[in-house]
A and B are shown apart, each in its own frame.
Chain A
Amino acid sequence: MKTTTDLSADLELFNAIRAGQHELLDTLYQDHRDAFIHFARQQLGANEEDAVDGFQDAVIVFYKNTVSGKLEELSCSIRTYLFAVGKRIIYRKNEQRRRESPMDLDTGRNPADELDMGIFDKIEDDHRKQLLANGLDQLGEPCRQILTLFYYHRYPIESVQNTLGLSSPGAVRVKKLRCLDQLKNILTKN
């Protein structure tokens, strides 16, 4: 059971990550990894690979919800939150594995009737994401850093300026606009 001290430590960690210390995710990962893998294998019937993969995705969801403000305040421990998110991810993975398992051809069922169109949607979605990600990869520095710090890590302009050693917040805003234009041109061409 989590003690008050543990919860206040969680709150400090949560606030620090929200304030831009994304490297603290490593600490968080190490603190809860073993417990989650054990839980996912024992309670949810996940294999090791899915358990690890699901935990990583849960950490990413936690991070994104924290910095975007979707997770406004920590009403439970970080472990509880990670377990709740991770559990849903593992359920989905289990479901996917069940659907992908080979069918008994002797039953006479038409395999086409059982095709999971969701898999095709996922492949298409992954492909689109890869194309979009390639677009960002084509941006040079410091454009990629500026856009990433501002839109992904949600740094305020002042912090982008300090992190990248740029001369003024106004200069960052001008550069950010140009970088957005460049990215738009790349994405349109792709």
Chain B
Amino acid sequence: MERRDDIQKKVDDRLLGRLAPTPDFEQELADSPALAEALADTELAMEAIDAAEDMVLKARLQKLEKQLAGKKPKRHLKVVKDEKEEAVVRPIRPSFFKRNMVAIAASLLFLLSAAYYFLMVDSTPSTADLYAANFEPYRNIAVDLTRSNDASPEEVAFTAYENGDYEKAAQLLLALDGKPAYRFYAAQAYLAQKNYAEAKKILMPMADDAAFPLSKQANWYMALAELGNNELETAKARLQTISKTGNHPYSKVATELLQELNK
């Protein structure tokens, strides 16, 4: 059976004009309900995206129009001679290159990215991709941060955490008084740095400790650490357990991740 990402890539290529309609594709469409469904769903989604973004673009041009209304752009003038050698005054229009040098450089970068995409694209998500798609550092619910000059060590540590300075956050959180909650966030900081081994060391006992208030969360992050560490079967087993636990806050997303891993 064809993988979902492969089907979607085929549909995208077709709808974005990268794949010309061929009798083979039409036949495949007739034979594969999954392909036909993905095509119909993506067409509808593109219609919605088109409708919404046309409105966004229109609103942007209307805003620009308002800014221009009643305000003639100032242009520098220069004296030039026409064919009859008579002096006439014309506005100087800065060259396109001068006006848009940064944009052109960015475009070149974009084109290189595009070339890379078309040459190197591999539609199969790796475990690293799935880890990256699923990992989000757990939000700080441990310490309320206030703006003050005499911040406590906890506040300094969690400020680093919230600012995404995970290296500093991990050090500071581990240097606190060893409360399990602080260590849980230190594990998050390690995960954010893709230091799976250190994250696992911290999360393992928490995931098994039902008395720890964030044990379910620790279990989910433990599965992600295993996934990041390429321990695929262990991660799957843990995700199965999470998926089957009815009231688990991550059961839905664990089921989705399992489906993606089993494709």
Contact = CB atoms under 8 A, between A and B. Distances in A.
Q: Are these two chains actual partners, yes or no?
A: yes
A157 B103 contact: no
B47 interface: yes
A45 interface: no
Interface in A114-155: 129-130, 132-133, 135-137, 147-148, 150-152, 154-155
B61 A29 contact: yes
B53 A157 contact: no
A90 interface: no
A100 interface: no
A24 B50 contact: no
Contacts of B41: 180, 184
Given A13-B96, A21-B107, A177-B5, A171 B53 contact: no
Interface stretch (A55-63, A81-89, A91-99, A105-113): A55-63
Contact of B133 (A9, A69, A132, A174): A174
Nearest to A52: B65
Contacts of B108: 19
A12 B97 contact: yes
Given A26-B64, A60-B58, A171-B133, A152 B45 contact: no
A170 B58 contact: no
Interface band, chain B: 35 or more
A20 B110 contact: yes
Contact of A136 (B4, B48, B110): B48
A23 B122 CA distance: 30
B103 A180 contact: no
A25 B173 CA distance: 48
Contact of A132 (B47, B111, B123, B256): B47
Contact of A56 (B65, B73, B121, B128): B65
B113 to A, nearest CB: 4
Contacts of A70: 17
B133 A162 contact: no
Nearest to B55: A133
B38 to A, nearest CB: 9
A158 B117 contact: yes
Contacts of A147: 45, 49
B125 interface: yes
Interface string B29-57: 00000000000011011111111111101
Interface residues of A, number: 59
A174 B100 contact: no
Contacts of B104: 12, 16
B208 interface: no
Contacts of A27: 99-100
B48 A30 contact: no
Given A136-B49, A158-B116, A23 B44 contact: no
B105 to A, nearest CB: 10
B110 A168 contact: no
A157 B122 CA distance: 11
Interface in A155-185: 155-159, 162, 166-171, 173-175, 177-178, 180, 183-184
A60 B17 CA distance: 19
A33 interface: yes
- Shortest Cβ-Cβ A-B pairs, 10 listed: A170-B129, A156-B117, A167-B132, A171-B132, A132-B48, A133-B52, A19-B107, A9-B96, A136-B52, A174-B133
Interface of B: 4-5, 8, 12, 16-17, 41-42, 44-55, 57-58, 60-62, 64-65, 68, 73, 95-97, 99-100, 103-104, 106-108, 110-111, 113-114, 116-118, 121-126, 128-130, 132-133, 256, 260
25 contacts: A9-B95, A12-B97, A20-B107, A20-B110, A26-B64, A30-B64, A30-B68, A52-B65, A56-B58, A63-B57, A132-B44, A136-B49, A136-B51, A152-B53, A156-B117, A166-B132, A169-B117, A169-B121, A169-B129, A170-B126, A170-B130, A171-B132, A177-B8, A180-B45, A187-B45
